[in-house]
Amino acid sequence: MSNMKIRRTAIAVAAATLLPFSLAACSDSGKDGASGSGSDKSSEASAPAAPATPDASMAMDKPFGPACAGVPAEGAGSFDGMAKDPVATAASNNPALSTLVAAVKQAGLVDTLNNAKDITVFA
């Protein structure tokens, strides 16, 4: 295996490894809804849950998490702006994704990601 091929593979693996961590930056406080004991589940089944009325701070139609404040509100690097661009181009417009963009460029995956159809990149 050539040195260049090994290097590209290592960079691709590094990018794939970093991807979940950058996702965690825009998540909730880390509370896992799947945790709990069996007795908790049985009490939930016996008592009907009261409908929750979400207030403005609980809106699920907006990004949330500590790193989301660093994402531009408008322009090419905003969530709306990135949705309109090819994957690698969109990521390069967002300063919060600079590490991912550097790894994608170094691995030579810019054209591959920009030309891919119907993909979602979690970053």
User: Where do the structural domains in the chain lie, given as residue ranges?
Assistant: 1-28+65-123
Helix, strand, coil proportions of the chain in percent (round to 5)?
55, 0, 45
CB atoms under 10 Å from CB of 123, counted, come to 23
User: Mind listing the pLDDT tens digit for each residue in 32-50?
Assistant: 555 555 555 554 555 555 5
pTM of the model: 0.47
CA dist 34 and 5 (Å) reads 41
- The rounded distance, in Å, linking the Cα atoms of 103 and 97 is 10
Which of 40-44, 46-50, 68-72, 107-111 is modeled with the greatest confidence?
107-111
Residue 88 pLDDT > 80: yes
User: Would you say how long the chain is, in residues?
Assistant: 123
Q: Which two tokens stand for residue 120?
A: 């979602």
